[in-house]
Amino acid sequence: MSCVFCDIVNKKIPAFVVAENKNAIAFLDINPIADGHTVVISKKHYANLRECPDEVLSDMIKLSKEVANKISESKLKPWGFNYLSNDQKIAGQEIMHIHFHVIPKYGKHEGFKFGIGTHYVDEVKKVYELLNKK
């Protein structure tokens, strides 16, 4: 099964690499929603956060921070950032390889915007009990 992110790691597909470390690589998103929108992926294939080893997740988060600092110190000068990871198609995951988006914000109505829906939301106490039921 082909994975576009694995192809980037293996240099079969070119990418604008911004930074990398032992377990992760960061590159500019090919379909950005803001200038500097960067994708941070694991170098080894894991489908999502739940499958990814802690050491790899740690390196991905550290690289996300490094990228955000690099963007902040650049001439782009964002006002803030969104950090985003989706898990499964229903949550918006398009490529089934763990990745985080580092999305600079330049204005309230630009770039990534939250759309909060409350469908299927139960009372907090009931949800807490369901989470802790054995």
- Provide the whole-model pTM: 0.85
Confidence band for 43, pLDDT divided at 50, 70 and 90: very high
User: Token match 């039921």: residue?
Assistant: 133
For residue 38, the SS3 value is: strand
Q: Which is the catalytic residue, given 37, 97, 99, 101?
A: 99
CA–CA separation, 107 vs 101, rounded Å? 18
101 is catalytic: no
**How far, CA to CA in Å, does 2 sit from each of 5, 8, 13, 35?**
9, 11, 12, 28
Using a pLDDT cut of 70, give the percent of the chain over it.
90
Tens digits of residue pLDDT in 64-87? 999 999 999 999 999 999 999 998
